[in-house]
Chains A and B, each alone.
Chain A
Amino acid sequence: MAQAQETQTNETSAGHGATTAHTEVPHDGGHAQTMFPPFNGETFPSQLLWLAITFGAFYYMMSKMALPRIGGILEDRRDRIASDIAEAGRLKQETEVAIASYEQALAEARQKAGGIAQATRDKLAGETEAKRAAVEKDLNAKLEEAEKRISGIKEAALADVGEIANEATNALVESLLGKAPTKTETSKAVSASMS
């Protein structure tokens, strides 16, 4: 590899020598105008004239045609973007107003719904309360009546207890003494012993 590289460089320098030798031949033995072309004053007037003509024409076409057109295009685009942004801003504002009114309506509706629910709840609670009170009153009345009946029955039963006691006493005394006492005697004795 290194060998190849070396040969290459040798070749290159050889080529270099060949090239310079080659180029120098026409240079030295060339015609009178082998002067370095950019410094050849003979061509200056022509170059200056044609530069003036072409550059002048170029400047004219740029300043009168091309640049106003490109500038106009850029201006139009800027205007269009600005107006589009303004339009978008306007639409956004409208949207915001719509959202605000929607939210207000929603809040009102919610409030109204809450009111209705509360009123219904209150009304139902009132009705339930009234029914409960009526039922309780009814129940109390029934309870009272029942208690009254119980106490009546109890009294009657107690009264019957006296009668039964009399009869039982009568029967006991009769079987013990062989002779029944009078009712008045028995009841007097019974009530005396019971009280």
Chain B
Amino acid sequence: MSNDPIHQFHIVNLFPVEIGGVDFSFTNSSLFMVATVAVTTVFLMMATGGRGLVPSRWQSVAEMSYEFVANMLRSSAGTDGMRFFPFVFSIFMFVLVGNLFGMFPYFFTITSHIIVTFALAMLVILTVVVYGVMRHGFHFLNLFVPAGIPAILLPLVVLIEIISFLSRPVSLSVRLFANMLAGHITLKVFAGFVASLGSLGALGVAGAVLPLAMTVGLTALEFLVAFLQAYVFAVLTCMYLNDAIHPGH
């Protein structure tokens, strides 16, 4: 069982909760969601507790994350987009810390479940739609009508735009989910090679060096992917929010 690469994605009930016949148990996934939120919040609050004019190391990490997301949002959605800054920052930090938590052995990766990433993606898309309609009303539909298209091509282009808009939550959620899932499975498989080869005697131990080196390399790669996917998720969120703010592109 310890070699099963899928085992790490199992959801285990820690504290059963049932409301109206639906299972809302507090699971290992819930635990890591709580841990992600708690650790991030406590870190940010503690790091900035000194309110130093000259930042300490931790405080500059907190400030860097703030300015990183702020610049990302400002460059893709403009100054108007800054009203969504807490939202984008929360999404980025939640996904980033959730991904990084998954890098600890025996820890659960909350973003390796499609329902979580899909819920976050839907939250983004619904925010875009609700804010776009609230702010621009009917003109929000201009999003599907790019300027300067010949009338003959227009139905086709509008159809393509609508399909691309509808596929956004899917691509946004599947990208993050698949990256985390595949990365963790690969890591587990190569680490499993090390264990099973190591049990085959002296030759096996010698042979296990290769997958071990691979595991080390993959671990580094997974840290990169953990950051990169959080960044990609946040950047796409910024770009979609830009559509809500300026629909006529």
Contacts and interface: CB of A to CB of B under 8 A. Distances in A.
Contacts of A65: 41, 45
Nearest to A52: B119
Contacts of B24: 45-46, 49-50
B94 A55 contact: yes
* Chain A interface mostly: helix
Interface in A41-55: 42-52, 54-55
Given A44-B115, A58-B40, A15 B207 contact: yes
A18 B48 CA distance: 52
Given A47-B115, A50-B30, A67-B89, A11 B197 contact: yes
Interface stretch (B153-161, B198-206, B216-224, B225-233): B198-206
Interface residue range, chain A: 35 or more
A148 B85 CA distance: 121
A8 B202 CA distance: 11
The interface centre, meaning the residue of B37, B59, B87 with most chain A CB atoms within 10 A of its CB, is B37
A66 B41 contact: yes
A61 interface: yes
A179 interface: no
Contacts of B10: 37
A38 B119 CA distance: 13
Contacts of A131: none
Interface string B90-108: 1001100000000000000
B164 interface: no
Given A49-B24, A71-B66, A39 B114 contact: yes
A188 interface: no
Chain B interface residue number, banded: 35 or more
A59 B87 contact: yes
A96 B203 CA distance: 81
Interface in B139-185: 177, 181
A15 B200 contact: yes
Contacts of B59: 73
A171 B129 CA distance: 164
A168 interface: no
B189 A58 contact: no
Contacts of A58: 36-37, 40-41, 90, 93-94
Interface string B44-62: 1100100111010001001
Contacts of B37: 54-55, 57-58, 61
B3 interface: yes
A176 B83 CA distance: 157
A12 B211 contact: yes
B115 A8 contact: no
B9 A73 contact: no
Contacts of B51: 69, 72-73, 76
A43 B4 CA distance: 20
Given A12-B210, A73-B63, A77-B53, A23 B4 contact: yes
A80 B181 CA distance: 47
B80 interface: no
Given A16-B193, A23-B3, A45-B22, A61 B114 contact: no
A104 interface: no
Nearest to B197: A15
Contacts of A47: 11, 27, 29-30, 113, 115-116, 119
B25 interface: yes
B135 to A, nearest CB: 20
8 contacts: A8-B207, A15-B200, A47-B11, A50-B33, A51-B110, A51-B119, A62-B44, A73-B51
Given A11-B207, A59-B90, A66-B45, 12 more contacts: A22-B3, A37-B6, A39-B114, A45-B22, A47-B116, A50-B29, A55-B94, A55-B120, A61-B41, A67-B66, A74-B67, A76-B53
